[in-house]
Chain A
Amino acid sequence: MKSYPRFIDPDKCTGCGQCAQVCPVTAINEFDCGLNLRAATYIQYAQAVPLAYGIDRDSCIGCGLCEKVCLAEAVSYDQRPSKAKIDVGAVVLSPGSDAFNPAKFDNYSYLKYPNVLTSLEMERILSASGPYQGHLMRPFDREEPKKIAWLQCIGSRDMNKCDHSYCSSVCCMYSIKEAVIAKEHSNVDLNCSIFYMDMRTFGKDFEKYYERAKDEGINFIRSRVHSIDEIGDTGDLSLKYVTAGGEIIDETFDMVVLSVGLEPKESAVELANNLGIELNHNNFIKTTDRDPVNTSKEGVFVCGAFQGPKDIPQSVVEASAAAAAAGEILATVRNTDTKDVELVPELNILGEPPRIGVFVCKCGTNIAGVVDVPDVTAYAATLPYVVYTTDNLYTCSQDTQEVIAKTIREENLNRIVVASCSPKTHEPMFQDTLTSCGLNKYLFEMANIRNQCSWVHANNPPLATDKSKDLVRMAVAKVGLKEPLNEISLNVKQSAMVIGGGIAGMTSALGLARQGFKTHLIEKSPQLGGQANNLFKTAKGELVQDLLADMIENVKKEENIELHLDTEVTGVEGFVGNFTSKLLTGGEESEIEHGVATVAIGGFEYQPTEYQYGNDPRIVTSLELDKKLIADDPIFKEIQTAVFIQCVGSREPDRPYCSRICCSHSVEAALEIKEKNPDANVFILNRDIRTYGEREEMYKRAREAGVLFIRYTVDQKPEVVIEDGKVIVKTFDEILGRPLEIETDLLSLATAVLPNNDVELAQFFKVAMNEDGFFVEKHAKLGPSEFATDGVFLCGLAHFPKSIDESIAQGQAAASRAVTLLAQGTVKTSGEVASINPMLCSSCGICVAVCPYSAPNFLEEGRFAGKSEINPVMCKGCGICVSSCRSGAISLKGFDNEQILAMISAA
């Protein structure tokens, strides 16, 4: 491992930015895509973690000013690259991807015209922390554009000039998002046009966003623009394109955004080559659908865009999946390299009057340069119960922590206020200092006089000083009312329950079992496999039945898995770490205990009522077609014509989501038919072909094999008639501009994927479902494989339609997320949780209804039966229940009414 020097020690750097302010160098800000400048001492972006500066030695002139002004003495010019060797049992590659560089090709006119931007530059322009502070301007003359065009598939789905044949998966969605945000940021009625080939909004809730964008007036034009020309010296751009109807149009735009795709990083390719890991022809890591995060080298795993182009949710799923895969091989050495922290016995301060100590930070000159710190410190000393005040150059430095701890002991302080930066970054560190000398960590409060005072009122030192005094007074008022709080620790039962024995559920169960946890796998039907029993091949051409047979065998021989077939879950009690579930197996009831649960109840195929389905054996659904393919039905040798109709039951007003997998499935089946019978005429009637990612190459192969793709619109859907024993599909071809009739021997309907809408199960775990019946994950981007309810996880079709490889990845991801809980052995509550006084509770149930984490429940027995009670383990301390409680029965430790009211009256 080689670490490059940053010339500023991140452990010492306080993120004050003094070095960047004095730096005389101006360099190009790469993060803002060159639209902005920065100093040679810089931080890449304002949200960077750690918030520590570095020196770009390529542009640094070595003047030494930064070293001189750095009061933290963090600057060191003589740092050299360092090498380190670490012993690891597994490696995960997640180097990400690069954006395609359109400068390579002159037809995009990217470097030629200043108002032709990449989508990444547009992201920076729209960002509040970007080069124009989020004001929509074009670079040429800083005028607000009135008309913007987005050009899709730049560097993707295009082989003309050695760019990439695959679809980059993310550009359609980000372009719609940019257009929507640009409209929000614009002061005029901004005209946005997106030029595309197929609109690929295949992700969860993406299709709804697309529909919303259409409603908001964004123009979607299906055309590939062939030339971009600047009009004189106006900076305006003329685009020439041909409409679907054949009309040539010349339209002027103020700005053009090139929706650039993703490509593997050169450095990542080099890394893979050095490690001897196989890449595919696109230079992505070669993986299989069976093991989507395994590389060709054992013990090395991959996740994210180096595995193939993908969006954030899928990258997060794979990240967890790679962690699970690594965890499986490392399970035996878990916790062998950890250290326990020595605990100091807690001081009992109950009954003592508050003795408040206030530490005011100068933060070098960051605070002291604006705020009169000695004045604030002197003022703090006049406040009630304050017995000790001081100021520090850097309150957060390690030696100051020792000083604070010593002061707490010597002065018998029992409440601490630090007036410095943000509690979001520094509260845990100061709390550790309190804990280290036996003071309960909740007897602490911060006054944010840097981020929210000196930095933002630099031009008004007197008022900034007044504000700092107010903020300190508010913090002192609150901390005086704070009490020591307890954090309860509960054991996590070292076992799991996985509901659903399909691909996702089995993968999840195997992941848990192989990491050493006893797992109950519950399957409603008498056999494992779920929908995979009906599937023929994956997108990469792997036989699903072989994959399934191996997986079932692995499940059956896995010692840690207890299989419950023909079983339903009839009740669930308890909470994270401590669930008890009732099972019903063939009329017999049983009970199991488990610490976590995974919901993988899958989905099923829509049974169409349209297109004459059920009236002729030649009209089949996708799964029925796959059954014929699995059985190698002789019909495929005989048929002259096959027709596929896409979006059957999907992307409709009453089912407004895209089922994601049907395009790839039909294309793959069409290829299969062509292979068995090259003379057959195969037609795919579609609204958009959504073969995202490297599946696009399958679409290309299908076109090369002669499969014909005919587009239809939702207002002019195909019609199917059965006449004289013939199945005839009638549709309108918009390119030919005339109606078509196809007599077919086989009509396959690409039917929607529906969720198993198990409302009862949702209630058992108190988890939510969206209007389409799919479960709602904790966070659409960052928590795709878990619920907001602690200890309950999610994978497979129950989350959203997905392919076999994606179900496997999410099954692994759910296992990984669950293991993070199981492996800790205990769950610790926060001290700052809500509690209910049952004497005041009126049993109205509002708290039960409003809590997003299912923490309140009605007591079923005892003296207070019928009253509500909050489970501190599940409470996140948000306080929604407190402000909603009509009876005033709920209090929130750490943010209680009297504490907040004290702050208001001190404000």
Chain B
Amino acid sequence: MTEKYEPKILAFLCNWCAYAGADLAGVSRFQYPPTLRVIRTMCSGRVDPLYVIEGFKSGYDAVFVSG
């Protein structure tokens, strides 16, 4: 392990705010580590606790719910 540790993050983003924010980060060309994977939901309230557990089971180091 010579490289810097970058946690793999699974993100659930609300379509109306956080997902739009992630799009805006792109338009503004903000750079962030390419270890984030985004799943869009229509509301962060859609995120079932099961999804968080499934995220960890799939090998993610962190699960991020934003909305």
Q: Do A and B bind each other?
A: yes
A residues neighboring B (CB under 8 Å): 15, 17, 46-47, 51, 128-129, 133, 422-425, 448, 450-453, 455-460, 463-464, 466-467, 470-471, 474, 832, 850, 876-880, 882-884, 892, 895, 897, 900-901, 903-905, 907
Q: Mark B25-67, 1 if CB is under 8 A from A, else 0.
A: 1111111111101111111011111110011001010000000
Are B15 and A424 within 8 A (Cβ)? yes
Known: A452-B26, A470-B37, A879-B45. 6 other contacts (CB 8 A): A46-B28, A422-B19, A467-B34, A832-B42, A880-B43, A897-B50
Residue ID in chain A nearest B19 by CB atoms: A424
Whether B41 lies near A904 (C-beta < 8 A) is no
Contacts of B37 on A, CB cut-off 8 Å?
Answer: 467, 470-471, 474, 907
Quote the shortest CB–CB distance from B56 to chain A (angstroms): 10
How far, in whole Å, are A460 and B47 apart by their CA atoms in the complex?
30
Contact (A880, B54) CB under 8 Å given A903-B39, A904-B39: no
Minimum distance in angstroms from A718 CB to a CB of chain B: 47
Nearest B residue to A445, CB-CB: B40
**CB < 8 Å: which of B26, B39, B41, B58 contacts A455?**
B26
Q: Which residues of A contact B31 (CB under 8 A)?
A: 456-459
User: Chain B contacts of A471 at CB under 8 A?
Assistant: 37-38
CA distance A907 to B29 in the complex (A): 24
Q: Which residue of A lies closest to B45 (CB)?
A: A880
Decide: A46 and B51 in contact? CB cutoff 8 A. no
Tell whether A900 pairs with B10 under 8 Å between CB atoms, given A459-B31, A464-B34. no
A474-B48 in contact (CB<8A): no
B interface bracket (residues with beta carbon within 8 Å of A): 35 or more
Q: Are B38 and A129 in contact (CB under 8 A)?
A: no
Cβ contact within 8 Å between A424 and B34: no
Residue of B35, B45, B46 with most chain A CB atoms under a 10 A cut-off? B46
Contact present for B34 and A129 (CB under 8 Å): no
Contact B38 A895 (CB under 8 A): no
CA distance A892 to B48 in the complex (A): 12
Across-interface contacts of B51 in A (CB, < 8 A): 900-901, 904
- Shortest Cβ gap from B30 to chain A (Å): 6
Residue of B nearest to A876 (CB): B42
Q: Choose among B25, B35, B47 the residue with the greatest number of A CB atoms under 10 Å from its CB.
A: B25
Question: Nearest residue in B to A422 (C-beta to C-beta)?
Answer: B23
Taking a contact as CB atoms under 8 Å apart, the answer to whether A897 and B48 are in contact is: yes
Verify B47–A129 contact, CB threshold 8 A.
no
Interface of B, secondary structure class, is mixed
**Smallest beta-carbon distance B43→chain A, Å:** 4
Question: Are A451 and B46 in contact (CB-based, < 8 A)?
Answer: no
B39 and A900 contacting across the interface, CB-CB below 8 Å: yes
A832 to chain B, nearest CB (A): 7
Task: List residues of B whose CB falls within 8 A of some A CB.
Answer: 10, 15, 19-20, 22-35, 37-43, 45-51, 54-55, 58, 60
Please measure, in the bound complex, the distance between the C-alpha atom of A466 and the C-alpha atom of B35, giving whole angstroms: 10
A655, chain B: closest CB distance, angstroms: 32
List 13 A-B residue pairs with CB atoms under 8 Å apart, sorted by A's residue number.
Answer: A133-B30, A456-B31, A459-B31, A467-B37, A879-B42, A879-B43, A879-B46, A880-B43, A883-B46, A884-B45, A895-B41, A904-B58, A905-B54
User: Contacts of B39 on A, CB cut-off 8 Å?
Assistant: 474, 900, 903-904, 907
CB-CB < 8 A to A51: which residues of B? Answer: 27
Expressed in whole angstroms, the minimum distance between the Cβ of B50 and any Cβ of chain A is 8
* Closest Cβ–Cβ distance, residue A463 to chain B (whole Å): 4
Q: Which of A423, A466, A832, A900 has the most CB of B within 10 A?
A: A900
Which residue of the partner chain B has the closest CB to A15? B27
In contact, B26 and A450 (Cβ under 8 angstroms)? yes
CA distance A422 to B41 in the complex (A): 14
Are B34 and A460 neighbours in the complex by a CB distance under 8 Å? yes
Alpha-carbon distance A31/B13, docked complex (angstroms): 29
Q: Is the CB of B22 within 8 A of A451?
A: yes
Instruction: Pick the contact of A129: B24, B48, B55 (CB < 8 A).
Output: B24
B20 touches A424 (CB 8 A): yes
Measured CB to CB, the closest approach of chain A to B12, in angstroms, equals 9
Chain A residue with minimal CB distance to B20? A424
A457 to chain B: which residues have CB within 8 Å? 31-34
Closest to A880 in B: B45
CA distance in complex: A463, B22 (Å): 18
Which residues in A have their C-beta under 8 angstroms from that of B30?
133, 456
| Contact A451:B29 (CB < 8 A) given known A474-B39, A882-B48, A904-B10 | no
Inter-subunit contact A451/B26 (CB<8 Å): yes
Asked if A907 and B32 make an inter-chain contact with CB atoms under 8 angstroms apart, the answer reads no
Inter-chain contacts of B58 with A (CB < 8 A): 904-905, 907
Shortest CB distance A608–B (Å): 43
Once the chains bind, are A883 and B47 in contact (CB under 8 Å)? Answer: yes
- Distance in angstroms from A877 CB to nearest chain B CB is 5
Judge whether B55 and A904 touch: CB under 8 Å. yes
> Please, how many angstroms separate the alpha-carbon atoms of A451 and B40 in the complex?
14
Query: Taking A47-B24, A467-B34, A905-B54 as contacts, is the C-beta distance between A456 and B29 under 8 angstroms?
Result: yes
A907, B40: Cα distance in complex, Å: 13
Nearest-CB distance from A857 to chain B (Å)?
19
Cβ B20 vs Cβ A455 within 8 A: no
A879 to B24, CA, bound (A): 24
CB distance from A152 to the nearest CB of B (A): 31
Q: Which residues of B contact A460 (CB under 8 A)?
A: 34
CB contact between A456 and one of B10, B25, B55, B60 (< 8 Å): that residue = B25
CA distance A907 to B49 in the complex (A): 17
Q: Which 4 A-B pairs have the closest CB atoms?
A: A451-B26, A879-B46, A880-B45, A878-B43
The complex places the Cα of A883 from the Cα of B51 at a distance, in Å, of: 10
Minimal beta-carbon separation of B9 from chain A (angstroms): 10
Cβ contact within 8 Å between A455 and B29? yes
Most buried by B among A133, A455, A884: A455
Interface centre among A128, A892, A907 (most CB of B within 10 A): A907
CB pair A452 B22 closer than 8 Å: yes
Most chain B CB atoms below 10 A, which of A51, A133, A474, A883: A883
Contact check, A451 vs B23: say whether CB atoms are below 8 A apart. yes
Cβ distance A888 to chain B, nearest Cβ, rounded Å:
10
A451-B27 in contact (CB<8A): yes
Measured in the bound complex, the distance between the Cα atoms of B28 and A464 in whole Å is 17
Q: In the bound complex, how far is the Cα of B49 from the Cα of A118, in angstroms?
A: 46
Would you call A878 and B46 a contact (CB within 8 A)?
A: yes
Output the residue of A448, A451, A884 with the most chain B CB within 10 A. Answer: A451
B33 contacts which chain A residues (CB < 8 A)? 457
CB distance from B52 to the nearest CB of A (A): 10
Query: What's the Cα separation between A82 and B25 when bound, in Å?
Result: 35
B residues less than 8 Å from A422 (CB atoms)? 19, 23, 26
Q: Is the CB of B47 within 8 A of A455?
A: no
Taking the closest CB of chain A, its distance from the CB of B53, in whole angstroms, is 10
Contacts A453-B34, A905-B58, A907-B10 given; does A900 touch B23 at CB 8 Å: no
Given A452, A458, A459, A850, which contacts B38 in the complex, CB threshold below 8 Å? A452
Complex Cα–Cα for A464 and B26 (A):
13
Residue of B24, B25, B40 most packed against chain A (CB within 10 A)? B40
- When distances are taken between beta carbons in the complex, the residues of chain A under 8 Å from B24 are 46-47, 129
Contacts of B46 in A (CB 8 A): 878-880, 882-883, 892, 895
State the Cβ distance, B48 to closest chain A Cβ, in Å. Answer: 4
Residues of A with C-beta under 8 A to B43: 878-880
Give complex CA distance A451, B27 in Å.
Answer: 6
Verify B23–A878 contact, CB threshold 8 A: no
Please give the distance in Å from A130's CB to the nearest CB on chain B. 10
A423 to chain B, nearest CB (A): 7
Q: For the complex formed, measure the closest distance between the CB of B14 and the CB atoms of chain A, giving whole angstroms.
A: 9
Name the CB-closest residue of B to A832: B42
Closest to A366 in B: B26
Known: A474-B39, A904-B58. A458 touches B15 (CB 8 A): no
Q: Return A19 CB to nearest CB of chain B, in Å.
A: 14
Question: Nearest residue in B to A48 (C-beta to C-beta)?
Answer: B27
Chain A residues contacting B32 (CB-CB under 8 Å) are: 456-457
Q: Which residues of A contact B50 (CB under 8 A)?
A: 897, 901
Say whether B54 contacts A895, CB under 8 Å: no
Closest to A425 in B: B23
Give chain B residues whose Cβ lies under 8 Å from the Cβ of A459: 31
